[in-house]
Amino acid sequence: MDGMTATQSAAQSAAAILPGLAGVKVLLVEDEWLVAMLVEELLGEIGCEVGGVAASVAEAQSRIESGVEFDVAILDVNLGGEKSFPVAEALIARHRPFMFATGFGPADIAQRFPGVSLLLKPYSARTLAKSLENLVRR
């Protein structure tokens, strides 16, 4: 592969497919550290930057209130038994785009937050890229 790793090749391919994601900063709210690490890697592969990671509602709200720089947010729905809905409401109040990510299905999300995208776990880099591209375009 002429000195290029598979990850570098995948990152270049994803960035070429969706150049609108290059440099997009993402606030990731995820309580499972292994999942957070994997998503951070996927974000890098598609050309995004991680603007911050929070593992709880309180930590996410603190990051938002402190002015952490990010363009969009990905919120895991269930954070250690606590729903991320207060974080979603804080983002709505600040007119910041976000999507939910969950492995449990939509349940009451669609009723409570109509029009908010839902990313079902597990997801691929391509699915993440398409979802983020739609979010950035709004």
Q: Provide mean pLDDT across the span 42-65.
A: 96
Burial of 56 (0-12, 13-18, 19+ CB in 10 A): middle
Output the pTM of the full model: 0.86
Has residue 55 got a pLDDT over 80? Answer: yes
Question: Across the chain, what does the average pLDDT equal?
Answer: 88
Domains (range + CATH), the chain: 32-137 (3.40.50.2300)
**Average pLDDT in the 115-136 region?**
93
Q: Is the dihedral of CA 85, 97, 50, 37 positive or negative?
A: positive
Q: For the residues 30-56, what does the mean pLDDT come to?
A: 96
Q: What is the largest CA-CA distance in the chain?
A: 51
Q: What is the pLDDT of residues 3-22, one digit of tens each?
A: 545 444 544 554 445 678 99
Span 82-125, pLDDT tens digits: 999 999 999 999 999 999 999 876 667 888 999 999 999 999 99
Q: Tell me how far apart the alpha carbons of residues 24 and 108 are, in angstroms, rounded to a whole number.
A: 29
Q: Give the alpha-carbon dihedral of 38, 39, 44, 45, to 10 degrees.
A: 80
Nearest to 121 by CA among 78, 87, 86, 91: 78
